[in-house]
Structure 1
Amino acid sequence: MDPPTGSSSEDYDYDLLVIGGGSGGLAVAKEAAGLRRKVLLLDLAAPSPRGTKRELGGSSLNTNSVRKFLQQASLLGKAIQDSQKYGWREKEPVSHGWTELVEAAQQQVKTRSVELKKELKRFGVFYLSARAEIVAPHTVEVTDTNGSKRRVTAETLVIATGDSPQYPGIPGDREYCVTSEDLLSLPHPPGRTLVVGGSAEGLESAGFLFGLGLPVTVMQQHDLLQGFDQKTAQKIENHMIVSGVKFLYHCSLTKVEQTEASSKDVVSDDSVATPQQFPKGGLRATIISKEGQTIQEDFDTVLLAVGRNANTSDIGLECVGVQRSQDTGRILVNERDQTSVDHIYAIGSVQHGRPSATGLSVHAGTLLARRLYRGDSILCDYSNVPTVVLTPLEYAACGLSEEKANVTFGEASIEVYHSHYWPLEWELPGRNKNSCYVKVICHIPDHERVVGLHVMGPNAGDIVQGFAAAMKCGLTKEQLDATVGTHPGSAQVLTSLTQTQRMTEALKMRGNC
Structure 2
Amino acid sequence: MIKINKILIHSFNPQRFQIFSTMNLYQFSFQKYQYDYFVIGGGSGGQASAKEAASFGARVGLADFVKPSPQGSTWGLGGTCVNVGCVPKKMFHYASEFGDILEHQRNAGWEVPHNINHNWSTLVNKVQTYIKRLNGIYMDALKDKKVTYYNAFASLKDKNTIQLEDINGNKTEVTSKYILLALGGRPKYLDEIPNIRELAITSDDIFFQNTPPGKTLVVGASYVALECAGFLNGLGYDVTVLVRSKVLANFDQEFAQKVKLFMQKHGVKFIEGAVPTSIKLSEQGQDLKHVEYKNTQTGELVGQDHFKTVLIAVGRGAQTKGVNLEQVGVQLTKDGKIVCDDSDTTAIPNIFSVGDCVEGRLELTPTAIKAGRMLARRLFNNQKQLMQYHNVPTTIFTPLEFGTVGLSEEQAAKKYGKDNLNIWISTFKPMDWQYSVAKQDDRAICKLITVKNDNDKVIGLHYIGPQAAEVTQGFAVAIQMGANKEDFDNTVAIHPSYAEEFVLLRTPRL
State the TM-score, normalized to the length of structure 1: 0.91
Mapped contact 1:55–1:61 kept (Cα < 8 A)? no
Give SS of 2:204's match: helix
What percent identity do the matched residue pairs reach?
37
Candidates 444, 452, 464, aligned match of 2:452: 444
Candidates 157, 171, 177, aligned match of 2:200: 177
Candidates 314, 322, 325, aligned match of 1:306: 314
Structural mapping, 1:44-443, within 5 Å: 44-62=65-83, 63-91=85-113, 93-169=115-191, 170-261=193-284, 280-290=286-296, 291-294=298-301, 295-326=303-334, 328-430=335-437, 431-443=439-451
Give SS of 1:403's match: helix
Mapped contact 1:252–1:289 kept (Cα < 8 A)? yes
Give SS of 1:254's match: strand
Q: Aligned partners of 2:424 and 2:113: how far apart in 1? A: 47
Give the AA of the match of 1:115: I
Q: Aligned partners of 2:287 and 2:57: how far apart in 1? A: 57
Alpha-carbon shift at residue 51 of structure 1 (Å): 0.7
Mapped contact 1:13–1:154 kept (Cα < 8 A)? yes
Q: Aligned partners of 2:357 and 2:347: how far apart in 1? A: 14
Give the AA of the match of 1:117: M
Mapped contact 1:171–1:254 kept (Cα < 8 A)? no
Counterpart for residue 42 of structure 2: 21
Give the AA of the match of 1:436: A
Mapped contact 2:402–2:463 kept (Cα < 8 A)? yes
Q: Aligned partners of 1:365 and 1:45: how far apart in 2? A: 20
Alpha-carbon shift at residue 499 of structure 1 (Å): 3.6
Mapped contact 2:430–2:443 kept (Cα < 8 A)? no
Mapped contact 1:197–1:222 kept (Cα < 8 A)? no
Give the AA of the match of 1:41: L
Counterpart for residue 479 of structure 1: 487
State how many pairs are aligned: 478
Mapped contact 2:103–2:435 kept (Cα < 8 A)? no
Mapped contact 1:24–1:347 kept (Cα < 8 A)? yes
Mapped contact 1:421–1:437 kept (Cα < 8 A)? yes
Instruction: Confirm whether residue 41 of structure 1 aligns to residue 36 of structure 2.
Output: no
Alpha-carbon shift at residue 435 of structure 1 (Å): 2.3
Q: Which moved more, 1:161-170 or 1:352-361?
A: 352-361
Q: Aligned partners of 1:325 and 1:501: how far apart in 2? A: 41
Give SS of 2:356's match: helix
Alpha-carbon shift at residue 434 of structure 1 (Å): 4.4
Give the AA of the match of 2:460: G
CA 1:501–1:54: 2 relative to 1, 3 Å: farther
Mapped contact 1:418–1:437 kept (Cα < 8 A)? yes
State the TM-score, normalized to the length of structure 2: 0.92
CA 1:457–1:320: 2 relative to 1, 3 Å: same
Mapped contact 1:194–1:302 kept (Cα < 8 A)? yes
Alpha-carbon shift at residue 432 of structure 1 (Å): 4.1
Give SS of 1:453's match: strand
Deviation per CA, 1:107-156: give whole Å up to 9, x if none.
Answer: 11111101100110001111111000001120110101221101110000
Q: Aligned partners of 1:332 and 1:289: how far apart in 2? A: 35
Deviation per CA, 1:381-403: give whole Å up to 9, x if none.
Answer: 11100111110001010010000
Give the AA of the match of 2:290: R
Mapped contact 1:198–1:305 kept (Cα < 8 A)? yes
Deviation per CA, 1:146-179: give whole Å up to 9, x if none.
Answer: 2110111000000001111000111121001011
Mapped contact 2:49–2:373 kept (Cα < 8 A)? yes
Deviation per CA, 1:59-111: give whole Å up to 9, x if none.
Answer: 11011111111100111111112110011112462110001001111111111
Mapped contact 1:483–1:495 kept (Cα < 8 A)? yes
CA 1:432–1:48: 2 relative to 1, 3 Å: farther
Alpha-carbon shift at residue 293 of structure 1 (Å): 3.2
Q: Aligned partners of 1:429 and 1:235: how far apart in 2? A: 19
Candidates 502, 505, 510, aligned match of 1:497: 505
Alpha-carbon shift at residue 9 of structure 1 (Å): 1.6
Mapped contact 1:46–1:54 kept (Cα < 8 A)? no
Alpha-carbon shift at residue 358 of structure 1 (Å): 0.8
Give SS of 1:501's match: coil
Alpha-carbon shift at residue 8 of structure 1 (Å): 5.9
Instruction: Confirm whether residue 467 of structure 1 aligns to residue 467 of structure 2.
Output: no
Q: Which runs of 5+ in 1 are unaligned?
A: 1-6, 263-279, 503-513
Mapped contact 2:29–2:177 kept (Cα < 8 A)? no
Q: Aligned partners of 2:287 and 2:441: how far apart in 1? A: 41
CA RMSD of aligned residues (A): 1.3
Q: Which runs of 5+ in 2 are unaligned?
A: 1-27
Counterpart for residue 30 of structure 1: 51
Give the AA of the match of 1:16: Y
Give SS of 1:207's match: helix
Mapped contact 2:105–2:112 kept (Cα < 8 A)? no
Counterpart for residue 30 of structure 2: 9
Give the AA of the match of 1:103: N
Q: Aligned partners of 2:262 and 2:39: how far apart in 1? A: 43
CA 1:92–1:286: 2 relative to 1, 3 Å: closer
Give SS of 1:180's match: coil
CA 1:183–1:46: 2 relative to 1, 3 Å: same
Give the AA of the match of 2:461: L
Mapped contact 1:418–1:438 kept (Cα < 8 A)? yes
Alpha-carbon shift at residue 208 of structure 1 (Å): 0.4
Mapped contact 1:419–1:499 kept (Cα < 8 A)? no
